[in-house]
Every structure is written in structure tokens, then in C-alpha cells.
Amino acid sequence: MALPNLSPEDRKKALEKAAKARQARADLRQKIKSGKMSFAEVMKKADDPIVARMKVATLLESLPGFGKAKAAKMMAEFEISESRRVQGLGARQRDLLMKRLG
């Protein structure tokens, strides 16, 4: 699919929107990492576009005590694709994650 030709003004708006979304995800990751927000609280906000579009691996890696290896091991155990986003989790996968982390 070809990218649309945007006017300079439209391009600037799109870049600003993307930057705000990245900043919101970074703020969310920081809240999770510092313990101000639990995994269960994040999953309750799964309808929020910021949470919904976050990759599951990134979410797991943000949890205290988790790194890339532990997150990858859990994702493999629960058969969650590396590229899966929170909004794309199946009911079984969501239940398994909530039982283990919630």
C-alpha cells in the first residue's frame, strides 16, 4: 500500500500525533516499571488506544523483575507471537497472563 502524499501541514500534524503517542506509551511503561501501576490495572485499560497498541513483549519487559529473556520465555510458554499487541490477545492468552501476573 502506497503512503498518501501529505501536505507539509498534514505531515506536521501526523508527526506531532505520533510523538504524543510515543510519549504516552513511555509514561505508561515508566508507571509500570516504578510499580505505580500493576499489570491488572493496565489490562483493565486494554480498550485505551495507548495500551491496546502496545506490544505484549514491551508490556512484560516493563514489569519489575522482567527483562527480555523472562518476557520471551513467558510469551513462548503462552504461545503469544513476538509481534502481538495487547488488543490482539486472545481470551485464553489474556486469562493465562492474568493468572500469572494479575
Domain range summary for the chain, segments of one domain joined by +: 55-102
Q: Is the pLDDT of residue 85 over 80?
A: yes
Q: Which CATH code for domain 55-102?
A: 1.10.8.50
Grid cell in block for residue 41: 490495572
Mean predicted lDDT score pLDDT of the chain: 91
Q: What is the pTM of this model?
A: 0.83
Res 77: pLDDT:
94
3-state SS, the chain, equals: CCCCCCCHHHHHHHHHHHHHHHHHHHHHHHHHHHCCCCHHHHHHCCCCHHHHCCEHHHHHHHCCCCCHHHHHHHHHHCCCCCCCEHHHCCHHHHHHHHHHHC
Q: Assess whether pLDDT exceeds 90 at residue 21.
A: yes
Burial of 49 (0-12, 13-18, 19+ CB in 10 A): exposed
> pLDDT confidence of 1, banded at 50, 70, 90?
low
The pLDDT, as a whole number, for residue 8 is 87
Nearest-angstrom CA–CA distance, 31 and 17: 21
| pLDDT band at 6; cut points 50, 70, 90 | confident
Whether the per-residue pLDDT at 81 is higher than 90: the answer is yes
Provide the grid cell at 10: 498534514
pLDDT per residue as tens digits for the range 54-63: 999 999 999 9
